[in-house]
Copies of this chain bind each other. A is one copy, B any other.
Amino acid sequence: MQNDYILQPNVDLDGLTRSVKGYDQNDVACEINVVEEQPLTIFLNGQEIVTAMTIGDYPDYLALGFLKNQGMLGADENVLGIDYDEDLKIVVVRTDGQTIYEEKLKKKTRTSGCAVGTVFGDMMEGLENLVLPSAELRTSWLYHLSNVINQTPSLYLKAGAIHGTVLCDKDKPLVYMEDVGRHNAVDKIAGWIHMHNETVADKILYTTGRLTSEMVIKCALMGIPILVSRSGFTAWGVEIANQVGLTLIGRMRGQRFMCLAGKDRLIYDEK
Protein backbone atom coordinates (compact mmCIF):
# COMPACT_ATOMS: atom_id res chain seq x y z
CA MET A 1 0.00 0.00 0.00
CA GLN A 2 1.38 3.39 -0.96
CA ASN A 3 1.74 5.75 1.95
CA ASP A 4 3.10 9.15 2.86
CA TYR A 5 4.72 8.41 6.21
CA ILE A 6 7.56 10.63 7.30
CA LEU A 7 8.21 8.20 10.17
CA GLN A 8 6.69 4.80 10.74
CA PRO A 9 7.43 1.91 13.12
CA ASN A 10 10.78 0.30 12.49
CA VAL A 11 9.76 -3.31 13.10
CA ASP A 12 13.18 -4.73 12.27
CA LEU A 13 15.17 -2.50 14.60
CA ASP A 14 17.19 -4.48 17.16
CA GLY A 15 16.19 -4.04 20.76
CA LEU A 16 12.50 -3.16 20.37
CA THR A 17 11.21 -6.72 20.46
CA ARG A 18 12.63 -9.98 21.69
CA SER A 19 11.83 -13.61 20.95
CA VAL A 20 10.82 -15.42 24.14
CA LYS A 21 10.34 -19.15 24.67
CA GLY A 22 7.21 -20.54 26.25
CA TYR A 23 4.55 -23.19 26.03
CA ASP A 24 1.08 -23.08 24.55
CA GLN A 25 -2.22 -24.67 25.65
CA ASN A 26 -1.13 -28.04 24.21
CA ASP A 27 2.18 -28.09 26.12
CA VAL A 28 3.98 -27.43 22.86
CA ALA A 29 7.14 -25.36 23.12
CA CYS A 30 6.99 -22.21 21.04
CA GLU A 31 8.55 -18.82 20.60
CA ILE A 32 6.73 -15.51 20.42
CA ASN A 33 7.81 -11.93 19.94
CA VAL A 34 7.31 -9.61 22.90
CA VAL A 35 8.02 -5.89 23.14
CA GLU A 36 10.91 -4.60 25.20
CA GLU A 37 10.29 -2.36 28.20
CA GLN A 38 13.07 -0.44 29.88
CA PRO A 39 13.45 2.51 32.21
CA LEU A 40 14.48 5.85 30.74
CA THR A 41 15.33 8.68 33.10
CA ILE A 42 14.62 12.16 31.77
CA PHE A 43 16.66 15.12 32.97
CA LEU A 44 15.98 18.80 32.35
CA ASN A 45 19.43 20.37 32.59
CA GLY A 46 20.75 19.25 35.98
CA GLN A 47 17.41 18.16 37.38
CA GLU A 48 16.17 14.57 37.28
CA ILE A 49 12.49 14.74 36.35
CA VAL A 50 11.02 11.29 35.83
CA THR A 51 11.76 7.67 35.06
CA ALA A 52 9.44 6.36 32.37
CA MET A 53 9.04 2.80 31.14
CA THR A 54 9.51 2.78 27.38
CA ILE A 55 10.36 0.50 24.46
CA GLY A 56 13.42 2.70 24.03
CA ASP A 57 13.22 4.16 20.54
CA TYR A 58 13.35 7.93 20.02
CA PRO A 59 14.44 8.88 23.57
CA ASP A 60 15.03 12.44 22.31
CA TYR A 61 11.48 12.89 21.04
CA LEU A 62 10.09 11.25 24.17
CA ALA A 63 12.05 13.50 26.53
CA LEU A 64 11.30 16.70 24.63
CA GLY A 65 7.62 15.84 24.16
CA PHE A 66 7.21 14.80 27.77
CA LEU A 67 8.70 18.06 29.08
CA LYS A 68 6.62 20.12 26.64
CA ASN A 69 3.40 18.26 27.46
CA GLN A 70 4.01 18.64 31.19
CA GLY A 71 4.44 22.39 30.81
CA MET A 72 8.03 22.17 32.01
CA LEU A 73 9.47 23.79 28.90
CA GLY A 74 8.05 27.18 27.98
CA ALA A 75 7.66 28.41 24.41
CA ASP A 76 10.34 31.03 25.13
CA GLU A 77 13.00 28.52 26.08
CA ASN A 78 15.57 27.41 23.54
CA VAL A 79 16.52 23.76 23.53
CA LEU A 80 20.28 23.76 23.02
CA GLY A 81 20.60 20.02 22.71
CA ILE A 82 19.38 16.63 23.77
CA ASP A 83 21.94 14.05 24.91
CA TYR A 84 21.12 10.37 25.20
CA ASP A 85 23.33 7.93 27.10
CA GLU A 86 22.33 4.47 25.94
CA ASP A 87 24.28 2.62 28.64
CA LEU A 88 22.89 4.63 31.53
CA LYS A 89 19.44 4.96 29.95
CA ILE A 90 19.47 8.67 30.61
CA VAL A 91 18.38 11.48 28.35
CA VAL A 92 19.19 15.11 29.14
CA VAL A 93 17.36 18.06 27.57
CA ARG A 94 19.53 21.19 27.75
CA THR A 95 18.08 24.69 27.56
CA ASP A 96 19.50 28.19 27.83
CA GLY A 97 16.82 29.55 30.11
CA GLN A 98 15.72 29.34 33.69
CA THR A 99 13.18 26.55 33.80
CA ILE A 100 10.21 26.45 36.08
CA TYR A 101 10.61 22.79 36.97
CA GLU A 102 11.22 23.45 40.63
CA GLU A 103 7.75 24.93 40.99
CA LYS A 104 6.31 22.08 38.92
CA LEU A 105 8.12 19.42 40.90
CA LYS A 106 6.73 20.81 44.12
CA LYS A 107 3.21 20.42 42.76
CA LYS A 108 3.89 16.90 41.62
CA THR A 109 4.91 15.81 45.07
CA ARG A 110 1.50 16.78 46.26
CA THR A 111 -0.76 15.63 43.49
CA SER A 112 0.97 12.65 42.05
CA GLY A 113 3.67 10.16 42.70
CA CYS A 114 3.06 6.74 41.24
CA ALA A 115 2.01 4.61 38.34
CA VAL A 116 -1.68 5.21 38.98
CA GLY A 117 -1.24 8.85 39.88
CA THR A 118 -2.01 11.68 37.57
CA VAL A 119 -0.73 15.21 37.32
CA PHE A 120 -4.29 16.38 37.72
CA GLY A 121 -3.45 19.76 39.19
CA ASP A 122 -0.91 20.46 36.49
CA MET A 123 -2.81 19.03 33.58
CA MET A 124 -5.93 21.19 33.91
CA GLU A 125 -3.75 24.30 33.77
CA GLY A 126 -4.01 26.19 30.51
CA LEU A 127 -7.38 24.74 29.53
CA GLU A 128 -9.49 27.68 30.73
CA ASN A 129 -8.80 30.06 27.87
CA LEU A 130 -7.93 27.51 25.25
CA VAL A 131 -9.55 27.99 21.84
CA LEU A 132 -8.92 25.19 19.39
CA PRO A 133 -8.72 26.14 15.70
CA SER A 134 -11.55 25.45 13.30
CA ALA A 135 -10.73 22.53 11.05
CA GLU A 136 -12.32 19.98 8.81
CA LEU A 137 -12.69 16.25 9.24
CA ARG A 138 -14.15 14.22 6.40
CA THR A 139 -15.52 10.75 7.00
CA SER A 140 -13.64 9.57 3.90
CA TRP A 141 -10.39 10.63 5.61
CA LEU A 142 -11.31 8.68 8.73
CA TYR A 143 -11.98 5.48 6.76
CA HIS A 144 -8.80 5.84 4.74
CA LEU A 145 -6.65 6.64 7.79
CA SER A 146 -8.03 3.71 9.75
CA ASN A 147 -7.40 1.39 6.82
CA VAL A 148 -3.82 2.53 6.17
CA ILE A 149 -2.82 2.65 9.85
CA ASN A 150 -4.22 -0.81 10.61
CA GLN A 151 -2.24 -2.30 7.72
CA THR A 152 1.02 -0.50 8.45
CA PRO A 153 3.70 -2.95 9.66
CA SER A 154 4.01 -2.21 13.37
CA LEU A 155 5.33 -3.58 16.64
CA TYR A 156 1.67 -4.10 17.53
CA LEU A 157 1.20 -6.48 14.60
CA LYS A 158 4.57 -8.13 15.34
CA ALA A 159 4.40 -8.51 19.12
CA GLY A 160 1.21 -6.96 20.55
CA ALA A 161 0.93 -5.36 24.01
CA ILE A 162 1.80 -1.89 22.74
CA HIS A 163 0.00 1.37 22.00
CA GLY A 164 0.27 3.49 18.88
CA THR A 165 -0.30 7.17 18.12
CA VAL A 166 -0.29 8.69 14.66
CA LEU A 167 -0.13 12.33 13.61
CA CYS A 168 -2.22 12.71 10.46
CA ASP A 169 -2.76 15.38 7.83
CA LYS A 170 -6.18 15.01 6.22
CA ASP A 171 -6.25 11.40 4.96
CA LYS A 172 -2.48 10.91 5.27
CA PRO A 173 -0.77 9.38 8.31
CA LEU A 174 2.52 11.25 8.75
CA VAL A 175 4.25 10.14 11.96
CA TYR A 176 3.44 6.80 13.64
CA MET A 177 4.94 6.21 17.10
CA GLU A 178 4.47 3.21 19.39
CA ASP A 179 5.26 2.58 23.06
CA VAL A 180 4.35 0.35 26.00
CA GLY A 181 2.87 3.42 27.68
CA ARG A 182 0.18 5.09 25.58
CA HIS A 183 1.20 8.49 26.91
CA ASN A 184 4.79 7.90 25.79
CA ALA A 185 3.60 7.40 22.22
CA VAL A 186 1.78 10.75 22.35
CA ASP A 187 4.77 12.44 23.96
CA LYS A 188 7.04 11.16 21.19
CA ILE A 189 4.66 12.70 18.64
CA ALA A 190 4.79 15.98 20.60
CA GLY A 191 8.59 15.83 20.63
CA TRP A 192 8.67 15.29 16.87
CA ILE A 193 6.28 18.23 16.34
CA HIS A 194 8.42 20.59 18.42
CA MET A 195 11.70 19.43 16.90
CA HIS A 196 10.36 20.09 13.39
CA ASN A 197 8.21 23.14 14.17
CA GLU A 198 5.29 21.38 12.56
CA THR A 199 1.95 23.17 12.31
CA VAL A 200 -0.77 21.27 14.15
CA ALA A 201 -3.86 23.47 13.74
CA ASP A 202 -5.07 21.40 10.77
CA LYS A 203 -3.87 18.00 11.99
CA ILE A 204 -5.58 14.90 13.37
CA LEU A 205 -4.24 12.79 16.24
CA TYR A 206 -5.06 9.09 16.03
CA THR A 207 -4.48 6.82 19.02
CA THR A 208 -5.11 3.17 19.80
CA GLY A 209 -5.66 4.03 23.48
CA ARG A 210 -8.79 5.00 25.36
CA LEU A 211 -10.06 8.56 25.30
CA THR A 212 -9.64 9.36 28.98
CA SER A 213 -9.48 12.85 30.48
CA GLU A 214 -5.68 12.86 30.37
CA MET A 215 -5.54 11.96 26.69
CA VAL A 216 -8.12 14.62 25.75
CA ILE A 217 -6.34 17.29 27.82
CA LYS A 218 -2.97 16.41 26.33
CA CYS A 219 -4.29 16.60 22.76
CA ALA A 220 -6.03 19.93 23.45
CA LEU A 221 -2.94 21.47 25.05
CA MET A 222 -0.89 20.34 22.05
CA GLY A 223 -3.28 22.44 19.97
CA ILE A 224 -4.55 19.56 17.83
CA PRO A 225 -8.31 20.02 17.28
CA ILE A 226 -9.25 16.42 16.36
CA LEU A 227 -8.65 13.23 18.36
CA VAL A 228 -9.55 9.81 16.97
CA SER A 229 -9.34 6.41 18.65
CA ARG A 230 -10.24 2.85 17.92
CA SER A 231 -10.95 2.49 21.65
CA GLY A 232 -13.74 3.88 23.81
CA PHE A 233 -14.48 6.93 25.94
CA THR A 234 -14.70 7.97 29.55
CA ALA A 235 -17.40 10.41 30.66
CA TRP A 236 -14.90 13.03 31.78
CA GLY A 237 -12.93 12.75 28.54
CA VAL A 238 -16.13 13.58 26.65
CA GLU A 239 -16.95 16.44 29.02
CA ILE A 240 -13.57 18.11 28.64
CA ALA A 241 -13.64 17.68 24.86
CA ASN A 242 -17.00 19.47 24.78
CA GLN A 243 -15.62 22.17 27.08
CA VAL A 244 -12.60 22.99 24.93
CA GLY A 245 -14.29 22.34 21.58
CA LEU A 246 -12.24 19.33 20.58
CA THR A 247 -13.63 16.87 18.04
CA LEU A 248 -13.68 13.45 19.67
CA ILE A 249 -14.10 10.31 17.58
CA GLY A 250 -14.04 6.90 19.27
CA ARG A 251 -14.76 3.25 18.58
CA MET A 252 -13.32 3.73 15.10
CA ARG A 253 -13.41 0.35 13.35
CA GLY A 254 -13.58 -0.03 9.61
CA GLN A 255 -16.39 2.29 8.53
CA ARG A 256 -17.97 2.63 11.96
CA PHE A 257 -17.32 5.27 14.61
CA MET A 258 -18.96 7.45 17.26
CA CYS A 259 -18.53 11.22 17.51
CA LEU A 260 -19.19 12.41 21.07
CA ALA A 261 -17.91 15.98 20.90
CA GLY A 262 -17.11 18.70 18.36
CA LYS A 263 -19.35 17.36 15.60
CA ASP A 264 -19.26 20.77 13.86
CA ARG A 265 -15.92 19.83 12.23
CA LEU A 266 -17.29 16.59 10.78
CA ILE A 267 -18.29 16.37 7.11
CA TYR A 268 -20.14 13.25 6.01
CA ASP A 269 -18.72 12.98 2.48
CA GLU A 270 -18.72 9.18 2.54
CA LYS A 271 -21.27 7.10 4.36
Contacts and interface: CB of A to CB of B under 8 A. Distances in A.
Interface of A: 17-18, 20-27, 30, 32, 34-39, 48-53, 66, 70, 105, 108-121, 139, 159-161, 180-181, 183-184, 187, 210-214, 231-238, 251, 255-261, 263, 266, 268, 271
A22 B109 contact: no
B232 A25 contact: no
A114 B120 CA distance: 9
A213 B39 CA distance: 10
Given A161-B232, A237-B37, A23 B258 contact: yes
Considering residues A110, A115, A235, A266, which has the most beta carbons from chain B within 10 angstroms of its beta carbon?
A: A115
A90 to B, nearest CB: 13
Contact of A114 (B53, B70, B212, B232): B70
Contacts of A255: 25
Interface of A is mostly: mixed
A259 B32 CA distance: 11
Given A108-B109, A161-B232, A234-B35, A51 B257 contact: no
4 closest residue pairs by CB, A with B: A161-B232, A160-B232, A22-B260, A37-B234
A235 B116 contact: no
Given A25-B257, A53-B118, A109-B109, A180 B234 contact: yes
Given A38-B236, A115-B183, A116-B184, 16 more contacts: A22-B258, A22-B263, A24-B258, A24-B259, A25-B255, A37-B235, A39-B118, A50-B114, A51-B112, A53-B118, A53-B120, A109-B113, A115-B117, A116-B187, A161-B234, A180-B234
A232 B35 CA distance: 9
A115 B159 CA distance: 24
Contacts of A18: 235
Contact of A214 (B115, B117, B260): B115
Contact of A48 (B39, B110, B212, B237): B110
Contacts of A266: 23
Contact of A51 (B118, B160, B271): B118
Contacts of A180: 210, 212, 234
